[in-house]
Structure 1
């Protein structure tokens, strides 16, 4: 099942992948959803594409591998273990700085009972917290008890809409059936899981060249929180030069921004200013991959939409990650993994409809991140053979639909997996880090990060 789904992903992206050797099976985490399968497919697809990009590999568009068995036998294949992949999907739970775990959730980020069900508020950023309070008619500084009372007096959808209208992030708990009847669900279902399209002409160009699959590939990372940073961290693990572009005025989740920054450099640019936009254009002119997770249309308004990026740098691969996709009534809506799980029926099913029970990991974030890395590498393969600039689009909501389609497993009471053998340590500017090693292997070589997470903005906005 896992190997076939990886092969199918490659075919949908227009590339042939080497065989992937899979060990282990579901259930591996406590859930009725096939979380381990999702993790192994996403990680395995990224590893297989990295193998196809490895020095001496024959990977490329469909037809390049006439026999996947021969490709695997020649050392071009990949491996993935289900437990290893699933534990990597929970890496933020195991991340430590000098032995201490960070806070993953702000005090007001929680599920709240409403007059007719449940709603979740995402308040990890201060401006989202303030917007949620405003949407509930509460003043800045209101506490959790105030939020509990305000939500209890309203319907779940009423809270969702009021908070969203105020610029905040919320989602009512829907059943699977309720979501499938929602107008936006049809738009999500009409989109490919990994939407890869050619958007411009450019001569065929190689992907770098070196001992590691992505050595020489330059990646701009304009993402935050989990899905986007996981995608670019995965590219770094296969040898890409990743420059994260943040800004002093943009909020971050401290633990997440450190734990997802292995192998990267970090600079700050204020894209609200002409100087900041000019500096980003200079970086784009020499980039191979541009990954962003702003709301759809936000960077286009600043002059960095896919068409403009392809004009600045013919041959660029643009990767867009969003919560609900670029089409449909919710295309511009803010969202996070926990909210999409709430809206799409996942937590309703997990809790048997009585109360929210989320997945045992931020599965939508991590799966979308690894699939985005797969999409970026698939586009690099297509670029090297066909030329062109490429646009890759993914959304958490589409990943949720894919997870739903993997079926169910009797895993609700599954014991927690062992993790000690999957952890490693590294010194960093923040202290001694304990982290989950990147999963999988490509062409017999496990991915690894060659540098610890940097301090935010410590590097100049320049390639090296």
Structure 2
């Protein structure tokens, strides 16, 4: 019972952090549920529970104050019978958020279901066959003074690592083992990063907290939500952001909608895990999600399929004027823009958050990065497994003798669900207050949050049962086995209405 109270309290903290009122979330199950000293099940239940609570708020409907409705671009919406007739947004006085009254749609999250969803890559099957997401050279290597992890899933990252190690193309794992053994971990990390690759030296928790970037990470909110052009928007210059008025989200809150986010339009410019998990979660609650990729961008084959449930997929080459024009046309009718490019990359193409808000006043921009946008590592490339190494998680899991990662891509999945929560919270704020909004998250900040949840005696925890949490669906790739999306709103679980599309299968247009 104590662990459930912790989960409920942490969800309340998230509500207060983003300034929204949300219905109550009932928690079932307990941690530990996965073999780890970290509270992985708790983290999963909190992240999923927060997103579930936000979806439940949408199920209640959003109402505008009469004064605000006069200036809205769209007509106010009707409130479902039994819902409280008051706007959702910042609580009165700007203080702590309050729970919705009894009778409003309630969310529910089960700790085991949330934890299993956090490792859905392990259960995903195409035609009964498992997909290995790791390239042959990706992994942990002993160095002269410790350990380093190389991320080689993308060919250009692999080539950068081999070049730094003085190895020719086509070198095998044993070649990399020998090369790393004579070098320092931090030396490899810095050289590979400078060459455009991805690597991380294993640090202890204490070593990370002494690192200059750790203080920059700690200074950021877990879910950093700010109004674009407001006091929380640090950017200056660039495009002018007009006052967007108050949006009633008429599409999303039509009386005959079937799911909480029906009508919400989401542009998905993300890859690998965290961003695609965020947009997949939004799709599970009914959002129209259009993933924008490109034929020249590398993908991890199994992940690009497993994270695409409920979405459509188009290809645009943003290096060309035509591709950028087509994306602007999509932005003009979007509600949410989710991206996980390196910080600054889309700004250079004319798609920074202020430019997006100028094209589509009222847009919600969700930015996901590895190490955040402030500090000496701002903009550094990274992935879940690398952040675990850098931030002390892998060190503690293996008692310092060798790296031992978490039993799931917890940083990716938690950041993904927290990003979905942040997007919905921003939409709720937009509905009540108007404006365009920006949400920022990083894997490193999520790692600090996980660390702050404390420890549990879970190292010997057996693998959880998962058969009852799996679903099957036919697709263009074959019969798919997958983990069903966790949580429920008013007793109704989220669902994906379509199988993963082939990459680039659809035109760049809303439907």
| Same fold (TM > 0.5) | yes
**Within 2, Cα distance between the matches of 1:383 and 1:135?**
48
Contact in 1 for aligned 2:107/2:490 (Cα 8 Å): yes
Q: What residue is the counterpart of 2:509 in the other structure?
A: 462
Q: Partner residue of 1:42? A: 47
- Identify the match of residue 52 of structure 1 among 43, 57, 66: 57
1:139: Cα distance to partner? Answer: 1.6
1:282 aligns with 2:329: yes
Name which of structure 1's ranges 364-373 and 195-204 shifts more when overlaid on structure 2: 195-204
> What TM-score does the superposition give when structure 1 sets the normalisation length?
0.98
Q: Check the 8 A contact 2:189/2:200 in 1, yes or no.
A: yes
Partner of 2:353: 306
Partner of 2:311: 264
Show the counterpart of 1:101.
Answer: 130
Structure 1 residues 272 and 33 mapped into 2: Cα distance closer, same or farther (>3 Å)?
A: same
1:25-174 equivalent positions in 2, closer than 5 A:
25-54=30-59, 55=61, 56=80, 57-58=83-84, 60-63=88-91, 71=101, 73-174=102-203
Conserved? CA contact 1:136–1:162, under 8 Å: no
Tell me, yes or no, if the aligned pair for 2:23 and 2:104 is still in contact at 8 Å: no
CA contact under 8 A between 1:7 and 1:16: conserved in structure 2? no
Q: What does residue range 407-446 of structure 1 map to in structure 2 within 5 Å?
A: 407-446=454-493
Q: C-alpha distance in 1, partners of 2:138/2:16?
A: 40
Q: Which residue of 1 aligns with 2:234?
A: none
Match of residue 245 from structure 2 = 203
Paired position in structure 2 for 1:400: 447
Shift, 1:66, TM fit: 11
Q: State how far apart, in whole Å, the 2-side matches of 1:272 and 1:139 are.
A: 30
What RMSD in Å do the two structures reach over aligned CA positions? 1.4
User: Structure 2 length as normaliser, TM-score?
Assistant: 0.89
CA distance in structure 2 between the partners assigned to 1:367 and 1:457 by the alignment: 27
Measured after TM superposition, the shift of residue 190 of structure 1 is: 0.3
How far does residue 162 in structure 1 lie from its aligned partner after superposition? 1.0
Q: CA deviation at 1:165?
A: 1.0
State yes or no: 1:15 paired with 2:20: yes
Q: Could you report, residue by residue, the CA deviation over 1:76-120 in whole angstroms, capped at 9, with x for unpaired residues?
A: 210000000000000010000110001110000010000000000
| CA displacement, residues 268-291 of structure 1 (integer Å, 9 cap, x when unaligned) | 000000000000000000000000
For residues 219 and 337 of structure 2, the distance between their equivalents in structure 1, rounded to whole angstroms, comes to 25
**Which residue matches 2:216?**
187
Distance 2:296 2:429 in 1: 37
1:254 to 296, 301, 305: 301
Secondary structure of 1:220 counterpart: strand
The 1:308–1:66 alpha-carbon spacing in structure 2 relative to 1, beyond 3 Å, is closer
**Counterpart-to-counterpart distance in 2, 1:265 and 1:155:** 45
Matched, 1:293 2:340: yes
Per-residue CA shift, 1:188-213, capped at 9, x if unaligned? 00000000000043111123222211
Q: Per-residue deviation at 1:70?
A: 5.9
CA–CA distance in structure 2, aligned partners of residues 234 and 251 of structure 1: 23
